Amino acid sequence: MRLLVTGSSGFIGGVVLERAAASDKTLYLRGTTRGRVLNLPASVETIFVGDLTENADWKEAVKEVDVVVHTAARVHVMSDTVTNPLAEFRRVNVSGTINLAHQAVNAGVRRFVYISSIKVNGEGTSLGHPYTADNITKSLDPYGVSKREAEVGLQLLAKETGIEVVIIRPPLVYGQGVKANFLNMMNWLNSGVPLPLGAVHNKRSLVALDNLVDLILTCIDHPAAANQTFLVSDGEDLSTTELLRKLGGALGKPACLLPVPVWLLKTGAALLGKRDIAQRLLGSLQVDICKARNLLGWTPPVSVDDALKKTAQYYLEHQRK
């Protein structure tokens, strides 16, 4: 099998290539990146491409490839500074993705695995009522809208051309080298600062990078994955309070959590214009991974505790501030 992974210098793409190289599934590996790739196996051929747009030339990258795993994207950011975020997300995540997929079809690629986002489903769930892979989608922010539009374009292309499309929607992904909000949590815990999050009884699904990559590699050749959409998680939902306690333990810094009522935290966040942050910390977002379990026979291979320990160890060794 010949496998192409886009975004090979990114958080997910590089690990996909590393695990693929260590498996017996692939005979040839190729990765694309806009910049210098570090710490990839010597067996991986690297091809440099420009921005992920409707004009990007992927002919050399997709040549003689069987499966494309598309991880490259314009990622979600909390404070976007561009004038029209939706237009920019569409330029990269929609037009860029569909352009790549068309060139993949022309090159004879048989399967396209697209790493989407749980934001396609929405921003949150009622406690105990998780999203499923077949829920009606309710994308709310520009990033989620762009990911949904890319999914629709890929599914249409599959119907028109016969290429197999597999869509995977992860929630928050954590692991070695994680950035953004999860890194901020580790910084807070490592500093020992008291956090007013000791009485939060929500439930949120997360996915360890190792578990996400394991599902991706399952989907590159599993017959039942063709033209399916899957949600992915660790299979164990945590409240924000539980997550902080587990992560603090993994860091060797027991979390100092103050039991401030949730209603008071929400009121304060609204007054400060931080409703989005409050939703992520206080609201629930659960996903049901039964479809992946039943259709693919897939089970998350790494436990939450082990994944958090690995994440914390990497942080302490490489990113401690």
Looking at the structure of the chain, the number of domains it has is 1
Domain membership of residue 185 (yes or no) is no
* 318: pLDDT strictly greater than 80: yes
**pLDDT at position 211 over 70:** yes
Cα–Cα dist 33/265, whole Å: 41
Render pLDDT for 89-146 as a digit per residue (tens, 0 to 9).
Answer: 999 999 999 999 999 999 999 999 999 999 999 999 999 999 999 887 788 889 999 9
Listed residue (248, 243, 211) closest to 230, CA to CA: 211
Q: What is the pLDDT of the chain when averaged over all its residues?
A: 92
The answer to whether residue 270 is domain-embedded is: no
Distance, CA of 44 to chain centre: 22
The CATH number assigned to the domain holding 297 equals: 3.40.50.720
Give the model's pLDDT for residue 33. 80
What value does the mean pLDDT take over residues 233-250?
97
> Mind listing the pLDDT tens digit for each residue in 146-168?
999 999 999 999 999 999 999 99
303/321: higher pLDDT: 303
In the chain, % of residues over pLDDT 90: 77
Using pLDDT thresholds of 50, 70 and 90, give the confidence band for residue 286. very high
Q: What is the mean pLDDT of residues 289-301?
A: 98
* Catalytic residue IDs: 143
The answer to whether residue 253 sits within a structural domain is: no
Q: Is 196 inside a domain boundary?
A: no
Q: Is residue 280 in a domain? A: no
Q: Is residue 125 part of a domain?
A: yes
Q: Average pLDDT for residues 259-277, to the nearest whole number?
A: 93
- pLDDT for the residue 37: 61
Residue 108: per-residue pLDDT: 97
Q: How confident is the model at residue 36 (pLDDT cuts 50, 70, 90)?
A: low
Rounded average pLDDT over 233-256: 97
pTM of the predicted model as reported, rounded to 2 decimal places: 0.94
60 domain-assigned: yes
Residue 307 domain flag? no
What range defines the domain where residue 161 resides? 2-174+207-235+287-301
